[in-house]
Amino acid sequence: MNYKTLQTIKSPEDLKKLDNPSLTELADEIRNKMIETVSHTGGHLASNLGTVELTIALHKVFDSPKDQIVFDVGHQCYTHKLLTGRYDRFDTLRTKDGISGFCRPTESEHDIFFSGHSGTSISSGLGLATAKKIKNDDHYVISLIGDGSFTGGMVYEALNNGGRSMTKHIIILNDNKMSISENVGAFSKYLAIIRSRPEYYNFKASTEEKINTIPGIGKAISKKLYDIKTDIKSRLYTQSTFFEDLGYRYMGPVDGHNINVLTNALLAAKKVNGPVLLHVITVKGKGYEYAEQHPSLFHGISQFDIETGEPKHKGSSFSDIFGHYVCEHANRDSSICAITAAMSLGTGLERFRREHPMNFFDVGIAEEHAVTFASGLAKNGMKPIFAVYSTFLQRCYDQIIHDISLQKLKIIFAIDRAGFVGEDGETHNGLFDVAFLNTVPDITVYSPCCYRSLEADINNALYADKTSCAVRYPRGGQDEIVKKLRYEFIEYSEYGDMESENLIVTYGRITANAISAVDRIKEQLNTDIGLLSFNRIKPLPDHAVSIISEKKKVWFFEEGVRSGGVGQALALRLIESDFKGVYKLTAIGDEFVHQASVSQLLNEYKLDTDGMFDVISEDI
């Protein structure tokens, strides 16, 4: 593919030299580069395809990084990366030691914050703009946020705070629903075009200034004209009144795929003396047929075939199996409800949504609300299941404690993407849920290593356990080697020589690696060793702790943070039981884990078979 224009862009300054036809050509090249790259690396495609022209216009009008652009979530920043000197490295997207799929300040001065979670850009942008105001810095702050993030409460907290700030803070609402409300007709579209031109604001400002200078009656006339204008707009623009009531100058909606219109709108926004909300209409997946037709599937996608749009790797996953089990239970139990925070596809709840629509709830990107909403369902006799990615459950700590545990209510947390997630990097690895759930009273936590255990855990959580439960499982499918396990006890499983004085202890996905390590140790070191894999990790099973306490050498491997994890909890239990043996814990230290494939991360942190073998062979 020939990228003759794109390869000349080394910084936003190069972009500013291009004329409109060249900018249009650049947009086409960027889309082709994205599609080509993501087909090999995986990534967020549809959202990035929808913001190409918008990002080009931003860098044409503003002076990054003096003007600071804050991307909400950051899953739409690929064009930004290509325009800020990262074209030569773009093929390394989401790979080990490559460029991130999100914003990363250590990667470029143009990336203002680490990003990965939604709803933060207006708050952080307001803070940046306020600091500039205090320091008499005349540069702008732009927060680019999608309409999906407007389902989260933090956005409204920031809007409420920022409307009266009188800062140079421009919020761009990227509306990719491909439609606007019915009452936005031809006349209102015409007004939107007029309002998007900087000449409009120049004329408006000079007119207001002249009217205000009329002795005695100028200010009264100006206020009356403003009231008339606001009333007309309130009839034409259902969107504008809300934002303007909060103190923002509302502009739009404007065509998000017309660079000239966008450039004029952004220039107009710079003329406003105060906070602005610019409403931009875009098409998610723009320019790639399969992404336009199926934007949810191409929101975050693994490797795929460009010609067919089909993923290259298919197979069952823990998410799929979870969704199947929950549907089967719901077919027999009408009290079961399923909740998602805009992740029905990713968490395996699409079938539940179709088959049990009255009991299915997508609350939007509002995880905190989801938990407290579930508390109300539970209080009135329902069995709510909240399916959520581990990294997003981090937002719910207060609600879990105050609205669930303290109230002694029972809900089930189906924690998807537990452990290493891989290429999405620091913001998405699910390594903290075990540690913070360990601090919550009266919650049971399961971490199945296989589909069989997952089924048992869901059944227990629904009908056997009396308190709230969490069932956590990784992205992807089970390793078939786990079928070697012995399942005599539901709380844990065993493998190898359990009479040996040597014992590996672990839980979750890496149990498969531990099984292989046991076999290799027996074969290559001629040493017997046993394996105990926890299925229930909170509270730890007393009988299992008793078995472990009798061993001479114990190696614990944990795909999670060391501080507050299961390994530390077990160490305390062993101390209390007067354990005399040697205990060695391998887990994630006091750090954030970088992007790489899951297999690369397991190897790096000595949680794969090779790593376990190396750690254990040092001590045998």
Show the tokens assigned to 270: 């710079």
- How is 179-230 classified by DSSP, letter by letter? ---TT--HHHHHHHHHHTSHHHHHHHHHHHHHHHTSTTTHHHHHHHHHHHHH
**Three-state SS sequence of 117-144:** CCCCHHHHHHHHHHHHHHCCCCCCEEEE
Q: Which residues are CB-neighbours of 461 under 8 A, at least 6 positions away?
A: 412, 444, 446, 469, 471
Residue 360: its H or E element = strand 360-362
Catalytic choice (104, 395, 538, 562): 395
Q: Contact 62/265 with Cβ under 8 angstroms?
A: no
Residue 372's nearest CA partner among 343, 326, 411, 337 is: 411
Task: Give yes or no: 367 in active site.
Answer: yes
- Return d(Cα 355, Cα 359) in angstroms, integer: 9
Beta strand ranges found along 55-125 (DSSP E): 68-71
User: Helix, strand or coil for residue 311?
Assistant: strand
Cis peptide before 215 (omega within 30 of 0): no
Tell me the CB-side half-sphere exposure of residue 135, using CA atoms within 13 A: 10
| Residue 362 CB burial class (10 angstroms; 0-12, 13-18, ≥19) | middle
Supply the DSSP symbol for 304: B
Specify the amino acid at residue 3: Y
How far is it, in rounded angstroms, from Cα 434 to Cα 324? Answer: 25
Helix, strand, coil shares of the chain, percent, nearest 5, are: 45, 15, 35
Catalytic pick among 249, 284, 353, 383: 284
- Beta bridge pairs of residue 434: none
Catalytic residue, candidates 29, 53, 367, 494: 367
- Asked whether the bond before 253 is cis by omega within 30 degrees of 0, the reply is yes
Q: Based on the residue annotation, tell me whether 395 is a catalytic residue of this protein.
A: yes
Gap between the Cα atoms of 502 and 527, Å rounded = 9
CA 189/CA 198 separation, integer angstroms: 17
Nearest Cα to Cα of residue 259 among 8, 63, 18, 56: 56
Active site residues: 284, 367, 395
